[in-house]
Structure 1
């Protein structure tokens, strides 16, 4: 049986991870038994093997993936009281482990998202968390504001880019959609990328965005938000005049220092504020930061791009896109992430993109590139980086629960890409000429 390290949970810091209760003040024991039996019956069809502390197990001996339950009673109680969120919190509490977390999540989450007996648990969990948020007051957990650069540096590469990378290999197959727009599908990298490949792959994705948007000498470019500086600097290196804005003081300092060190202060204008507050006209708008293109944010991107782009100007947008047929899985992961990672992590579905751009027909969609398998490798390499830098994470004050949480977050991202629930796109749109007044 796989070795399981002892868990360490500070319940004052992580109140949701306190031992779950049954019956009085908690979920009924009969409900736990029903959910436990349903889960055990589903294990073989999920292709899992579950091992228990007494050396018993469920599932085929040759199942390719396995879960080791350290605390079965707590695991099943959390499952019955919180559905997917309960299973994820159980992992954070150290009550179960797996040697292949993304593959386990790929098998688990669809069952968790669609099992009818868990609907009540899912609803009650959301209600409890909603009441707790109301009691605690509003919490600023915006992705740009809430995730410090020290954490980003622990799992990314030197670019500190947090969007999908594009690796060197992988065949490109071109086709056209029903409206005649170009669709390029990039297949998986020929060889599995290594951690040292990540920086070049991020720069490749950035360079492609800048190229399709036509950024060059004297281009007026908006990069909003700036990420951690890589994309606006690459635009400046092409001779563009770049404007960028951030709501994060942390990013303002980091990006400002990078711009100054690169000798590009004359080419990059950086300010504190919101994308919506930008004025003036631009030849190109380039966006790669995931938090700018959430389900809520994609409408803002379309509206502001229509207003800010000059005639013939281009919008190049890198965005994670959810499959409408997998909305249940995406919703389950979003619910957990909103509690622990970022309140604005709702990924836009394809229908959301269509809806957002339908309100701005003056933004003509030209085509897109799809490279979800490269995104899956990106998330895998982020997990590897974070694991290798575990001591650095501990030294910076990220406790064992937080480190398990972040591993789970990155594994869920990888599972979403690998399973086809989420894809990575680069979209190109152009601004149609404005009508002149007579």
Structure 2
């Protein structure tokens, strides 16, 4: 493992302070594990947990290193220790789901109140001020279009699908229905926003162009903004290949800089990258450009309001390795921010967290099946363990109910009364 590439992973923390913190973290972890419905297996044969034979198994490979990492960095250390191979799990999402379901009780309440004193804070350069946002987005979405193509379906949709009832139980849906389920998700949002012939549509967050393509096919004129040069290039190519270049503009532009007037605004899983302190600007921008009588449809990953408030200043493994500057809203926060800062009001919403769990499972299976292809693109074993942890960590959040994903419709009816 190259320490220059993976400075936080190549070696566990060392020294007297790390040893003391590791011992304390180890005691806290073992105390929590004894109460949880899983099995934690140590090299000496010790097994902790309340799980039966079918429970997920967390196998400790280097327990001292594991404890040193979580002692030094909390839950960041949990992810880094998996990246380093300090522990294994045949059902990684299952193990992480147990932790996600018990997140409020893993650490004793008196110690939870002290978390802000010892956990890392968000680096200033990762706050989503306008001068930082391009860099934050680039670190994730500009990794490689080819990387994302290894585990996404043909629509290149990187957000929750919406599976039809006919697809069967969500925990058993198969890959061959994913592309249609992604298009169904997009079509529902376009329907709710009233997108059709002649609609002037603003899309905040282009992805790789599927929503713009489907809106153009309805006869809409689309202005789509992204901060990923890789996404812009592929989206433009797909749009040109489909013959819609005259209807769709894909701009490399911050959402705050958008001008003009639009009959509809659609944004799919973009608010998560905006940052807590910038939610008012995000919705004020939408309010500013939305034409009278216009509608807004967004898809947003959400968390419970209490957890959102408790973690709004936290710096997590996901921030450090996957989405710098990101933060998930609650439904209550979206309602409050729009009421206090805009004329927009939430009119309708639909939760579909189970659909995201199914989507992530399919991505995870595909990513594992394409491991050799990912390696040939230049992504090493540590990266692949990191990405697997990210997919499973996300799936665990939805399976446990800690996370949800909502399609939310907003308009100005109240302001017009």
The match for 1:419 is: 400
The match for 2:244 is: 264
2:137 aligned with 1:143, yes or no? yes
What are the equivalent positions in structure 2 for 1:92-107 lying under 5 Å apart? 92-107=83-98
1:350-377 Cα offsets, whole Å, 9 max, x none, are: 3321222112452132211111111111
1:69-119 Cα offsets, whole Å, 9 max, x none, are: 110111111122221111111001011011111221122241546665577
Query: For 1:274, which of 239, 254, 258 is the aligned residue?
Result: 254
The match for 2:155 is: 159
Q: Distance in 2 between matches of 1:322 and 1:114?
A: 22
Q: Distance in 2 between matches of 1:271 and 1:130?
A: 28
What are the equivalent positions in structure 2 for 1:24-43 lying under 5 Å apart? 24=16, 26-29=17-20, 31-43=21-33
The gaps in structure 1 that reach 5 residues or longer are: 1-8, 172-187
1:364-418 Cα offsets, whole Å, 9 max, x none, are: 3221111111111111111111111111110011111111111111111111111
Residues 119 and 196 (structure 1), Cα distance of their counterparts in 2 relative to 1, 3 Å cut? farther
The match for 1:366 is: 347
Contact 2:190 / 2:266 at 8 angstroms: preserved in 1? Answer: yes
Contact 1:145 / 1:247 at 8 angstroms: preserved in 2? Answer: no
Q: Distance in 2 between matches of 1:387 and 1:192?
A: 18
The match for 1:339 is: 320
Q: Distance in 2 between matches of 1:56 and 1:359?
A: 54
2:8 aligned with 1:12, yes or no? no
Residues 75 and 350 (structure 1), Cα distance of their counterparts in 2 relative to 1, 3 Å cut? same
Q: Distance in 1 between matches of 2:205 and 2:126?
A: 28
Contact 2:161 / 2:182 at 8 angstroms: preserved in 1? Answer: yes
* TM-score normalised by L of structure 2: 0.88
Q: Distance in 1 between matches of 2:117 and 2:150?
A: 35
* TM-score normalised by L of structure 1: 0.84
Q: Distance in 1 between matches of 2:400 and 2:9?
A: 28
Task: Tell me the CA shift for residue 142 of structure 1.
Answer: 1.9
Q: Distance in 1 between matches of 2:79 and 2:112?
A: 14
Contact 2:351 / 2:404 at 8 angstroms: preserved in 1? Answer: yes
1:48-79 Cα offsets, whole Å, 9 max, x none, are: 21112233322355361111111011111112
Residues 123 and 386 (structure 1), Cα distance of their counterparts in 2 relative to 1, 3 Å cut? farther
What are the equivalent positions in structure 2 for 1:197-208 lying under 5 Å apart? 197-208=177-188
1:146-176 Cα offsets, whole Å, 9 max, x none, are: 32322222222111111111001189xxxxx
| Count of aligned residue pairs for this structure pair | 405
Could you say what secondary structure the match of 1:401 adopts?
helix
